[in-house]
Amino acid sequence: MRHGSRAWTALLGVLAVLVTVTTAGCSDTGGRPAPDSPREARWQPRPGLAWQWQLDGKVDTAAADVPVYDIDGFENDAADVARLHRAGRKVICYINVGAREDYRPDKDDFPRSVLGGPNGWEGERWLDIRRISLLRPIMERRFDMCREKGFDAVEPDLVEGYADDTGFPLTARDQLRYNRMIADIAHERGLSVGLKNDLPQIPQLVDAFDFAVNEQCAQYGECARLTPFIEAGKAVFHVEYTEPTHRFCPESRRLGLSSMRKKWELGTWRSAC
C-alpha cells in the first residue's frame, strides 16, 4: 500500500508541474488568443456560394442579396464590415500582395530594392517576391489590418508574377514559396485565404488555400483547371468581363463555380449565373 501511495503522490506531482507549465505558457495573453492562434474556426466557403465583388470605393452593403462580399481592405472600415456581418454576410478583404501601389497609406514601407517594373495599372509596380524578409512584415501588417477590421478572409492579388515581365527573374519555385507564406500569414490570424488565378500551380497550392478567386477562365477555356478546389469542397469565386453569361454559365453550373459577369471597374453592377 505504501508503494502505491508513493506512486500516486509522484503522479500528482507530475500533474502539478504540467499544469504549472501550461498555465505559465498562457499567463501573458490576458485571456486573449495568442497572435498566431485563430480566434475561432476559420470560415470555409463551400462551392456554389453566390458573391459580390466590389473594389471601386466604399462598399454598397445593399448592392446584392448574396452571402459573400469581397471588398477593398483599405477603402472600407470596421463599420462597413460590421454592417455586412449584421446582414448575414461573410466579408473578404482584398489586398494586393504582388505589387506596390503608390496610392496606399503604407506605400513608403516598401524599400526601393523590391520595386520592379510597372504592371499595367496606374501607380503600381511589381514586387521582388524573393525578398521574403523585407516583404513579410509589410504583408503581416496588411493582414493585421484585415483582421482588426473584422474581415473573415483575404483575397491576395497578383500572386503569379513569375508568369509576367516583372523586371525580376522570378521562378515558379519563388512563387510557390511566396504564395505559401501569404497563406500562412492569413491562417496565423484566423483568416481564410483565396488563391487568385495562378492556375498552373493549383495542384501544389490547393491544400494551402481555402478557396479560389478567378478572372476570365471561361474566356480562355481554362475553368476545368479549377476543379481541384471544387473536389476539395472549396468555393471558386469566378468572374468574366466580356463573355456574356449565356456562354459561360452552363459550364460554371456544371463545374460548381460561383460565377458572374462584372464590368472592369468592379463597381456594384453584377450579372450572376
- 148-163 pLDDT, tens digit per residue, is 999 999 999 999 999 9
Residue 79 lies inside a defined structural domain of this protein: yes
> Domain range holding 263?
49-272
Task: Please give the average per-residue pLDDT across 65-86, as a whole number.
Answer: 98
CB neighbourhood size of 53 (10 A): 23
**Count: domains in the chain:** 1
Residue 19 lies inside a defined structural domain of this protein: no
Residue 8, pLDDT above cutoff 70: no
- Residue 209, classified by CB atoms within 10 Å of its CB into exposed (0-12), middle (13-18) or buried (19+), is buried
For residue 221, the domain's CATH number is 3.20.20.70
pLDDT digits (tens, 9 = 90+) for 205-219: 999 999 999 999 999
CA distance 24 to 206: 37
Residue 3, pLDDT above cutoff 50: no
- Give the three cell numbers for residue 122: 496606374
Long-range CB pairs of 19-28, under 8 A, 24+ apart, other chains included: none
Q: Residue 203's pLDDT is what?
A: 98
CB 238 within 8 A of CB 216: no
Residue 6 lies inside a defined structural domain of this protein: no
Task: Please give the average per-residue pLDDT across 63-67, as a whole number.
Answer: 97
Residue 194 bridge partners (DSSP): 211
CB neighbourhood size of 127 (10 A): 28
Task: Please give the average per-residue pLDDT across 79-98, as a whole number.
Answer: 98
Residue 12 lies inside a defined structural domain of this protein: no
Residue 3 lies inside a defined structural domain of this protein: no
**Torsion angle of alpha carbons 161, 163, 165, 170, nearest 10°?**
70
Q: Residue 40's pLDDT is what?
A: 65
Q: Residue 262's pLDDT is what?
A: 98
Residue 85, pLDDT above cutoff 50: yes
Residue 21 lies inside a defined structural domain of this protein: no
CA distance 52 to 63: 8
Q: How confident is the model at residue 57 (pLDDT cuts 50, 70, 90)?
A: confident
Chain centroid to CA 95: 8
